[in-house]
C-alpha cells in the first residue's frame, strides 16, 4: 500500500521542475489510470473541496453561526498556512473545487498544494435551460473562461479545469425545453427541430412516434406541441438530442478553455450523481477526464457498481470523484441535516468509518484518479443561502477538527492502483445467505452487496442486480437509475406500458414487474403479492430499489443449481440491459456431502 504522505513532499515538483511547459497529465497503462505530476510522478488526487475563509466579516450573521477565518487568525496568510498544514497532516494532497486558491497560492513553494478550479462556464448562461446555442451564450462562456483562466494558466500546481458543476442534464425535460419552450426563432429551438428533421425525414414518420396536432414541419416550427406516443420507440429522439446538445456543449467549453490555455487538463463538468448515457458519450472527444459528484449510496460508505463502471465504459475516460460526503446528526455546529437527502448517520464515529470505506472502495477501482471530500468546514448552523444545512466538514464552524474523521483520513493508504495491475471482478456463483429479513430493509442496507452482485452480460448498465437467500426463499433486488418527466406523456401521466420494465426468469418462474415513474413517488409502497407466493417491496427514488421474494417451492431446483435470466428496460425502453447466470443455492462441498449421505 502507498501512503498519501509520499505524494505530499516537496519532491512532488522538486528541483527537477523545468517550467511552465510541464503540467499535470494522465497516464493509462496496464489497466490502471493515474495523474502524472510535472516531474513524472504518479499521483492519486486525495482532496478537500471549499478550503476557504468562510463567511466574510461584513456578511456574518451571529444568528446563523458559520465558519469565519477572521475570528480565528490575524491575517489571510496565517489562515492559509494553518489550513494547508492541517490538510497535509491528515494525508490530503489536493485542494478541491471552490477553494481559495488565490490566498493559498501566496504561500512559499514548499507549502503549496495542487488544486482544481470550477469555471462554471455554462452556468454563466444558465445552461442547459437558457439557449445554449445562442451567440450570447457563446460570448458569455468565452468571456468567463478568459477572466478566470488568464491569471492562473501558467501555474504548475493547477491540475486542471472543471467546465461546470451539476448542470441540469435532465434529458426528457431538456428535450421538451428546446423543442417547444424556447422562443420561436431561437438558435436552440432551430437546432432541436433540425435534429428531428434529420432523424425522421418526413413529418409523417415523426407522427408515427409522437402525438401532435401539428400538420407539417413548418407548422411545428412556429407552434410546436408533442407527446411521446406509447410503444413507439420515439424516445430515441431524446437520446439523439442529448447527444447533439452534449457534443455542442463539450465542444464549446473545450474551445473556450483551449483558447486561453492548451496545457492544462479538462476535467469534465461534475455530474449530479446522474447522467444520460448519450450525453456522457458525447463528451468523450472533448475532455481528458470524466468527473462526477457521488455521495455514498448507502450509509456504510458503499455505492452501486454500475454508476462508475458505465461512466468509464461510455466515455472511455478515467474518472475523478469531485464530491463525496457523509453527515452525522451528532455534530458541534448544530447542523440539522434536514434540507436534502444526503447520506446521514447518527455519530461521528459512524461518519468516519463510512468515509474510510468510501475512499477504500474508490481507490480500488482502476479508472479512478482520485476523490475530493465535500467539504473543509461544516455548513452554517441554520443553512447556507440555499438552505443546505449539513455536517459535511472536517472542521466545525468554530474551526475545531472532528478527530474521528481526520484520524481515519490519516490512516488511509492509497491502494496499489498506482503500481500494480487491476484484479478482475468475479462472480462467486454461490448465492449468499441473508441472516435477516430482506423485505424489511428496502434500502438494501445490510445486504452483502459485493458477494450477491450478479454481473450484467449486455447493455450499458444503469442498474445493479443482487441475489441472496434464506431457508424458504430467494430474494432478487434491483437498484436502478432512471429519470422520467411525466409531462413527456399525454395527460401528464406515464402509461403503465411505458414505465420501467423488469423481466426476470428465476429457474422456471417468469416474473414481469413495472415500476418507477409517478407510481408511489414520494412514499414507500406497501408489500404487494405478485402471485405464486411471490412478494415485492419498493423504495422509490431517482435510483429506485425493488426487492422480489421468490419461494424456493416454486423454483424446483433439487440440484441446488439456479439459472437466472433478466432484462431491464428504462422508461419507454430508452436503454436495455441484460443478465444471465447459473448460480448455486448451496456450496459444492455441501452438495457432495448430501449425495454421500
Which distant-in-sequence residues (6+ apart) come within 8 Å of 277 by Cβ?
Answer: 239, 310, 314, 460, 462, 575
Q: Which domains does the chain have, with CATH numbers?
A: 2-113+289-418 (no CATH), 438-596 (2.60.40)
Cell 494532497 identifies what position? 93
Which distant-in-sequence residues (6+ apart) come within 8 Å of 363 by Cβ?
Answer: 44, 371, 414, 415, 417
Residue 30's pLDDT is 80
The conformation of residue 342, written as its DSSP 8-state character, comes to -
3-state secondary structure 229-262: CCCCCCCHHHHHHHHHHHHHHHHHHHHHHHHHCC
Whole-number Å distance between alpha carbons of 202 and 200? 6
Residue 366's pLDDT is 92
Residue 414's pLDDT is 66
Cell 442498474 identifies what position? 463
Reading the block at residue 74, the C-alpha cell is: 490575524
Q: Assign 424 a pLDDT band (cuts: 50, 70, 90).
A: low
**Within 13 A of 565's CA, how many CA atoms are on the CB side?**
5
**What is the average per-residue pLDDT within 408-423?**
69
The SS3 of residue 94 is strand
The full length of the chain comes to 597
Residue 422's pLDDT is 65
Residue 492's pLDDT is 93
Residue 413's pLDDT is 73
Residue 13's pLDDT is 52
pLDDT of residue 15 exceeding 50, the answer is no
Residue 441's pLDDT is 83
**What is the average per-residue pLDDT within 195-222?**
98
- Whole-structure pTM over 0.85, yes or no? yes
Which distant-in-sequence residues (6+ apart) come within 8 Å of 148 by Cβ?
Answer: 117, 119
Strand order in the sheet with 42-43: 25-29, 32-36, 42-43
- CA separation, residue 473 to residues 166, 322, 433, 506 (Å): 42, 41, 10, 12
Q: Dump pLDDT digits (tens) for 77-135.
A: 999 999 999 999 999 999 999 999 999 999 999 999 999 999 999 999 999 999 999 99
Q: Dump pLDDT digits (tens) for 334-353.
A: 999 999 889 999 999 999 99
Lowest-confidence region among 322-331, 434-443, 496-505: 434-443
Cβ neighbours of 444 (radius 10 Å): 21
Q: Assign 206 a pLDDT band (cuts: 50, 70, 90).
A: very high
Q: What is the average pLDDT value for the chain, to the nearest integer?
A: 91
Q: Dump pLDDT digits (tens) for 301-316.
A: 999 999 999 999 999 9
What angle do helix axes 348-364 and 403-411 make, rounded to 10 degrees? 20
Which distant-in-sequence residues (6+ apart) come within 8 Å of 339 by Cβ?
Answer: 383, 387, 388, 389, 390
pLDDT of residue 522 exceeding 50, the answer is no
Whole-number Å distance between alpha carbons of 362 and 302? 9
**What is the average per-residue pLDDT within 472-487?**
95
Amino acid at each position: 500500500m502507498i501512503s498519501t504522505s509520499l505524494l505530499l513532499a516537496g519532491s512532488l515538483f522538486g528541483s527537477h521542475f523545468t517550467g511552465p511547459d510541464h503540467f499535470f497529465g494522465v497516464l493509462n497503462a496496464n489497466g490502471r489510470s493515474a495523474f502524472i505530476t510535472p516531474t513524472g510522478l504518479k499521483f492519486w488526487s486525495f482532496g478537500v473541496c471549499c478550503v476557504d475563509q468562510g463567511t466574510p466579516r461584513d456578511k456574518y450573521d451571529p444568528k446563523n453561526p458559520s465558519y469565519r477565518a477572521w475570528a480565528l487568525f490575524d491575517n489571510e496568510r496565517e489562515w492559509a498556512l494553518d489550513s494547508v498544514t492541517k490538510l497535509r497532516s491528515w494525508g490530503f494532497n489536493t485542494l478541491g473545487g471552490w477553494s481559495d486558491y488565490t490566498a493559498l497560492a501566496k504561500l512559499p513553494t514548499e507549502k503549496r498544494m495542487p488544486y482544481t478550479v470550477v469555471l462554471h462556464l455554462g452556468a454563466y448562461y444558465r445552461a442547459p435551460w437558457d439557449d445554449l446555442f445562442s451567440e450570447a451564450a457563446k460570448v458569455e462562456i468565452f468571456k468567463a473562461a478568459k477572466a478566470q483562466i488568464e491569471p492562473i494558466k501558467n501555474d504548475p500546481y493547477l491540475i486542471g479545469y472543471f467546465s461546470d458543476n451539476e448542470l441540469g442534464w435532465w434529458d426528457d425535460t431538456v428535450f421538451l425545453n428546446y423543442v417547444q419552450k424556447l422562443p420561436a426563432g431561437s438558435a436552440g429551438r432551430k437546432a432541436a427541430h433540425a435534429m428531428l428533421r434529420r432523424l425522421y425525414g418526413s413529418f409523417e414518420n415523426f407522427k408515427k412516434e409522437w402525438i401532435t396536432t401539428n400538420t407539417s414541419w413548418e407548422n411545428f416550427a412556429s407552434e410546436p406541441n408533442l407527446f411521446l406516443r406509447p410503444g413507439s420507440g420515439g424516445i430515441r429522439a431524446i437520446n439523439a438530442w442529448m447527444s447533439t446538445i452534449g457534443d455542442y456543449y463539450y465542444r464549446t467549453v473545450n474551445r473556450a478553455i483551449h483558447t486561453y490555455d492548451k496545457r492544462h487538463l479538462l476535467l469534465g463538468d461534475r455530474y449530479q450523481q446522474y447522467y444520460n448515457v448519450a450525453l456522457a458519450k458525447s463528451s468523450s472527444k472533448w475532455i481528458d477526464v470524466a468527473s462526477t459528484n457521488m455521495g455514498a449510496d448507502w450509509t456504510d460508505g458503499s455505492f452501486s457498481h454500475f454508476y462508475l463502471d458505465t461512466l468509464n465504459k461510455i466515455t472511455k475516460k478515467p474518472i475523478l470523484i469531485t464530491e463525496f460526503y457523509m453527515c452525522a446528526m451528532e455534530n458541534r455546529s448544530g447542523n440539522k441535516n434536514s434540507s436534502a437527502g444526503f447520506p446521514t448517520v447518527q455519530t461521528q464515529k459512524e461518519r468516519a468509518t463510512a468515509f474510510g470505506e468510501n475512499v477504500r472502495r474508490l481507490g480500488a477501482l482502476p479508472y479512478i484518479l482520485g476523490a475530493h471530500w465535500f467539504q473543509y468546514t461544516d455548513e452554517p448552523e441554520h443553512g447556507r443561502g440555499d438552505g443546505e444545512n449539513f455536517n459535511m466538514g472536517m472542521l466545525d464552524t468554530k474551526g475545531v477538527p472532528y478527530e474521528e474523521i481526520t484520524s481515519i483520513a490519516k490512516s488511509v493508504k492509497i491502494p496499489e492502483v498506482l503500481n500494480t495491475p487491476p484484479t478482475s471482478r468475479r462472480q462467486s456463483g454461490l448465492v449468499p445467505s441473508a441472516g435477516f429479513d430482506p423485505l424489511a430493509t428496502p434500502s438494501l442496507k445490510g445486504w452483502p452487496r459485493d458477494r450477491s452482485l450478479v454481473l450484467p452480460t449486455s447493455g450499458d448498465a444503469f442498474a445493479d442486480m443482487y441475489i441472496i437467500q434464506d431457508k424458504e426463499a430467494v430474494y432478487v433486488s434491483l437498484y436502478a437509475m432512471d429519470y422520467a418527466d411525466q409531462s413527456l406523456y399525454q395527460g401528464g401521466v406515464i402509461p403503465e406500458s411505458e414505465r420501467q420494465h423488469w423481466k426476470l426468469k428465476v429457474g422456471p418462474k417468469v416474473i414481469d414487474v413495472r415500476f418507477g415513474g409517478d407510481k408511489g413517488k414520494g412514499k414507500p409502497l406497501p408489500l404487494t403479492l405478485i402471485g405464486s407466493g411471490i412478494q415485492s417491496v419498493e423504495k422509490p427514488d431517482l435510483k429506485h430499489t425493488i426487492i422480489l421474494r421468490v419461494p424456493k417451492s416454486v423454483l424446483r431446483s433439487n440440484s441446488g443449481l439456479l439459472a437466472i435470466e433478466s432484462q431491464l428496460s428504462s422508461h419507454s425502453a430508452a436503454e436495455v440491459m441484460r443478465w444471465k447466470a447459473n448460480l448455486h443455492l448451496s456450496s459444492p462441498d455441501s452438495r457432495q456431502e448430501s449425495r454421500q449421505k
